[in-house]
Amino acid sequence: MAGQRVEVDGGILEGVNLAVSLPLQFYKYHKMWGYRPQHLSGLEMIRDLCDGQLEGAAIGSTEVTFTPEKIKGGIHTADTKTAGSVCLLMQVSMPCVLFAASPSELHLKGGTNAEMAPQIDYTVMVFKPIVEKFGFNFNCDIKMRGYYPKGGGEVIVRMSPVTQLNPINLTDRGSVTKIYGRAFVAGVLPFKVAKDMAAAAVRCIRKEIRDLYVNIQPVQEPKDQAFGNGNGIIIIAETSTGCLFAGSSLGKRGVNADKVGIDAAEMLLANLRHGGTVDEFLQDQLIIFMALANGVSRIKTGPVTLHTQTAIHFAEQLAKAKFTVKKSEDEEDSSKDTYIIECQGIGMRNPNL
């Protein structure tokens, strides 16, 4: 891959290592808007991880040239200096450090619970246990939670490199066995808001699922572990085969607590109706790992999102992985909008191990 130059949708990547160039291109941005603080921070961290060169990277940039070298691992910091999502920083860095020469410790600063991005609770409670099925482990230590508009959160991610990633097969849904979650308030917001979010969510879920206990814990975030004011809720459904689904919502000025709880509950219920084994937010996050893995991976999903379609496009273009997306032929899925995403991974090997 030496000397490879890739230009897609206004962005240019020029590099030598798929483990770096592929996740960078997966970074979500729109060429009309350009890079936001979390995008720029992620680019700079990847540059430092591999002693690379980065040209044209600035807030608002729509074109960047990146030339990576050997991924070395080590301790690195990325700070959005805003409420930009630390989870997006984690998304762009994780596929890279998996193929580093040594273990990595990433200090990610910004918003832990931000709009238009996974909440850190989703990353820990849903993304982590599922993505680790590819054959690696990581530790996510939440040092400080940070909320819109100030951010101020910090998460430390520790992980060791692997030789190769294993393929996964997530096609057996099983039955829902547990529903649980947390409704939180931080800063000056009263604890009653957390209790009201939880109670409204439980009432909404019980209209559709009556035979399971729904355990949503209201939480007052400790003042020494949260920066600023915020509230939100995440609800997880776990199945007999280990599948995980989530619904979440964040509070906003002028939106009452009941609506926040109901929005999260309705999101979870929608993800349970489609018959897939992953929710709408996890499906696109798995694509890059399927592309890099050694063998055939299969996941069953509900409607294929635009994020997933975009991720597949770039994986096929940059990594030359082969994807197929077909309607599920299982009899139980015949009346549902359910799909099988299959990928022949490229078997990326870590040249450092």
Residue 91 assigned to a binding site: yes
Residue 51 assigned to a binding site: no
So what's the pLDDT on residue 197? 98
So what's the pLDDT on residue 115? 85
So what's the pLDDT on residue 22? 61
For the residues 98-127, what does the mean pLDDT come to? 95
pLDDT interval class at 25 (50, 70, 90)? low
pLDDT interval class at 20 (50, 70, 90)? low
pLDDT interval class at 143 (50, 70, 90)? very high
pLDDT interval class at 23 (50, 70, 90)? low
- Report the share of the chain in percent with pLDDT over 70: 90
Element (DSSP H or E) covering residue 142: strand 138-146
So what's the pLDDT on residue 95? 93
Residue 4 clears pLDDT 70, i.e. is over it? no
Q: CA nearest 221: which of 248, 259, 183, 252?
A: 183
Token code pair at residue 71: 């991924």
Residue 11 clears pLDDT 70, i.e. is over it? no
User: pLDDT digit string (tens) for 170-215?
Assistant: 999 999 999 999 999 999 999 999 999 999 999 999 999 999 999 9
The Cα-based distances of 188 to 116, 185, 221, 225, 231 in angstroms read 24, 8, 11, 14, 10
Residue 217 assigned to a binding site: no
Catalytic residue among 30, 39, 307, 313: 307
To the nearest 10°, the Cα dihedral for 336, 280, 27, 87? -170
Q: Which of 14-23, 147-156, 213-222, 305-314 has the lowest mean pLDDT?
A: 14-23
Residue 24 clears pLDDT 70, i.e. is over it? no
pLDDT interval class at 5 (50, 70, 90)? very low
So what's the pLDDT on residue 38? 79
Which pTM does this prediction carry?
0.91
For the residues 51-65, what does the mean pLDDT come to? 85
What's the one-letter identity of residue 315?
Answer: A
Torsion sign (Cα): 111, 184, 221, 283: negative
Residue 31 clears pLDDT 50, i.e. is over it? no
Residue 225 assigned to a binding site: no
Residue 283 assigned to a binding site: yes
Distance separating the N- and C-terminal Cα atoms of the chain: 18
Residue 105 clears pLDDT 80, i.e. is over it? yes
Is 39 an annotated catalytic residue?
no
For the residues 287-308, what does the mean pLDDT come to? 97
Burial of residue 321 (number of CB atoms within 10 Å: 0-12, 13-18, 19+): buried
| Mean pLDDT, the chain, integer | 90
Residue 281 assigned to a binding site: yes
Those residues with Cβ within 8 angstroms of residue 333's Cβ, 6 or more apart along the chain or in another chain: 275, 300
User: pLDDT digit string (tens) for 302-330?
Assistant: 999 999 999 999 999 988 999 999 999 98
